[in-house]
């Protein structure tokens, strides 16, 4: 039997703010295996969850951001706001491991520190905050903490709705409008509001002007059918 290749590799990074050098753990994504895809598009991984490794955290000043190029970019950082939020970073950082080794708990903590940094960046879409809350919810799901999963899903839903209703160009990446509306519907469903979920799913189905990946149209139809029958799926086959 061929020996399994390691999934984690270690490296070194430099903090662009305080110039501290620190160790980081990264994931070979092509070696990560997942079992299923949830209906909110989170993946159920066999072992290593790569989300836990997405954020780099400086163990000195606790500046945190997505790894590599985004981590290096501080051009849009408001230093005055960043300094004002230092007590928040230090409080979270007081329980952050100095060796940067990742567990699910540390993964959640890294996203929370990244949210603090995000508050210091200029012109950030509410959708960007939503995506961080969503990832935290997914990690809590893997931990089996339903209450915290729902709490952070509600926070994500609030930010996505704010972005959709008030922003001309929300930062939603590749999901497009259909993906965003489907996501708001699925977040509504998973936090107990089937009525609102159905309204969002129906909006994707009936609005022919809405742009985005056509797969979301199928998802919305399947979810509407599932809700009406009382058997909405938890995974996509």
CA–CA gap between residue 120 and residue 191 (Å, rounded): 29
Kindly tell me the sign of the dihedral angle through the C-alpha atoms of 207, 212, 215, 220. Answer: negative
Looking at 117-131, 163-177, 211-225, which range is the least confident one? 163-177
Residue 1 has pLDDT above 50, yes or no: no
Whole-number Cα distances in Å, 174 to 39, 115, 171, 180, 212: 17, 21, 9, 10, 8
Mean pLDDT, rounded, for 169-193: 92
Tell me if residue 140 falls in helix, strand or coil.
helix
Residue 2 has pLDDT above 60, yes or no: no
**pLDDT tens per residue across span 90-125:** 999 999 998 888 999 999 999 999 999 999 999 999
Long-range contact pairs involving 182-187 (C-beta distance under 8 Å, separation at least 24): 182/216, 182/219, 182/220, 183/40, 183/41, 184/157, 184/160, 185/220, 185/223, 186/39, 186/40, 186/223, 187/40, 187/134, 187/153, 187/154, 187/156, 187/157, 187/160
Are 52 and 43 spatial neighbours (Cβ–Cβ below 8 Å)? no
Q: Shortest CA distance to 90 belongs to which of 116, 62, 121, 120?
A: 62
The label of the residue with tokens 């390691």 reads 6
**pLDDT tens per residue across span 143-152:** 999 999 999 9
Residue 169 has pLDDT above 90, yes or no: no
How many degrees, rounded to 5, is the angle at CA 210 between CA 208 and CA 215? Answer: 90
């Amino acid at each position: 039997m061929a020996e399994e290749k390691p999934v984690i590799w270690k490296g070194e990074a430099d903090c662009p703010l305080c110039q501290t050098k620190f160790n980081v753990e990264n994931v070979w994504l092509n070696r990560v295996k997942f079992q299923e895809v949830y209906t909110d598009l989170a993946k159920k991984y066999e072992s290593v969850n790569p989300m836990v490794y997405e954020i780099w955290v400086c163990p000195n000043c606790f500046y945190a951001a997505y790894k590599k190029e985004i981590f290096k970019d501080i051009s849009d950082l408001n230093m005055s706001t960043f300094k004002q939020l230092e007590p928040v970073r230090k409080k979270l950082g007081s329980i952050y491991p100095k060796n940067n080794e990742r567990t699910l708990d540390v993964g959640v903590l890294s996203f929370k520190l990244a949210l603090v940094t995000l508050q210091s960046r200029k012109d950030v879409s509410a959708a960007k905050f939503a995506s961080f809350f969503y990832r935290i919810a997914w990690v809590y799901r893997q931990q089996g903490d339903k209450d915290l999963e729902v709490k952070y899903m509600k926070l994500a839903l609030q930010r996505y709705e704010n972005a959709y209703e008030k922003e001309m160009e929300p930062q939603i990446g590749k999901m497009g409008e259909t993906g965003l509306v489907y996501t708001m519907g699925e977040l509504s469903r998973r936090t107990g509001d089937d009525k609102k979920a159905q309204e969002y799913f129906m909006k994707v189905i009936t609005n022919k002007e809405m742009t985005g990946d056509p797969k979301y149209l199928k998802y919305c139809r399947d979810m509407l059918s599932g809700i009406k029958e009382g058997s909405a799926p938890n995974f996509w086959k």
